[in-house]
Structure 1
């Protein structure tokens, strides 16, 4: 299942998206592109976070981690059917990386372990009878702006499978992460993120942990985790898509693709990029009905299996937070309480992760 799964999915036109609810699929409602977009009050996001109010810890990968203290919150959103019903969840304390795992951090992991990601692995033509062997080469999907589209329900109009694209070569074999060491690592399948977390002595967050940390003590119906507006004092509060999707990004926030971690203000608990930049893998299997099935109000870990009515044959995990491709006209799944989803073996250049660590 590794790279072969991804290529086969792509060939079957089911792979990709900005991962709103799926890092890759079509949806009948483009404003809720779950499929293609990856388908306490905070008075000012630009106010300095009181560093003495944050308890920090270094992970085995030397990453700063923030103590997320135990608490209870209302999980979900009235704006998205698969994020209902809103329900009360209680969580024990845990540590969370203050930002997404970077290229430099992932490079250290690969250096020490020799790990090979899904996008780099060779494919066996015997696994794909009838498919041109020339197509069956390691690679990954890269967002490609397109001004000539027939609608927002066909994500392959702006996604291209690029041979040689992987975490070290985000746009293809001629590209590099040199100079982008502080950008979030991308082109990772779920198992690639989980492998790093295990090496670092951590794990991937549950979606309940992720949402609790993103809300940072707020019980709100505001559209964004920080409040009502996408900008403050004329400055964008997250790395998302400005302009006409997918044709032209006006780059008002300063970034065409990923931004260095910490480029935008942290939330009240000192966590960066909890909306925008890259989608983040969570450990939960994705089910559209997960919240109605949930019978645990304390430290939930999600359903026991995956089921997406749009694509029932694919195994998906939850992704959270949106990416640099999300905006209100196309992919709203970066908004507060919303859920993304992604096929576990389908990496793209707008998906990454951060880790959490249990408290001994």
Structure 2
């Protein structure tokens, strides 16, 4: 296959989206954007990106940020382990590199939460180092470009694709080349629906297009079935606010706040009231209202949620719980997106 980079770069310079982390590709900005963009669309990320940088404009500010504030800044983006690793890495960068990311691929790769793709993106875009940055978009482009039926989720296949990517990379324009491949996959060689081959600068050399196999590529391993978990919630409100508790510091939604709930259990209203009484809560003659059923899909788990909403008289919060006002829930306590269906009732 002929060298694809001239046509690809020409297309990129004419068609690339104007994004803040492209216009100002400092290492911290590129790093933050790449972490936020994992499993999240650009349009959804931008408001968070601006807000995060306004609050934490540099790596030392990120390293010093209080955990609750950090979670609140991330609220709604999901996959909170990303921001916890971001801060862990920031603390190491401050301790080892004076608060500036190192211009070294291996050193970047050694930081918490930074994998091969993110390290490659920072190293090539911010520092101009000739290294690969191979994400799902790039794998899809090369799967179709070479009409390769290899399963792209297999490490050996990804390694072979990465070698092909590097065969075409111009070392003096590594960052632009890597971004051009990502952009081509995001805008033209799209993941859902037919690729827009009429707009592709590589259409003439694309082997899948010639063979009519673009719809079958790339090949992925079949996902494992998710575990279905019933969850019962109780939105308990008093004059002091809603009863909430912080989840454990490890595991699913670690360290975030939630209403009263019981995982792996589908409870009837009478059972919920009995559980609340057992917590030491005086429910009096409260008449619970049923919450609408909702579900939330995590990577490997699916929550099927139901429950009740009730008002109680003023009283102390049971051990391990706090009363949080609507204002506190809006500004201080990070409620994960898993409870999106019930946030209108809480906020």
TM bracket, shorter-chain basis: under 0.3
Larger Rg: 2
Which has a greater percent of helix? 2
Greater RCO, CA 8 A, separation 6+: 1
TM-score, normalised to structure 1, is 0.22
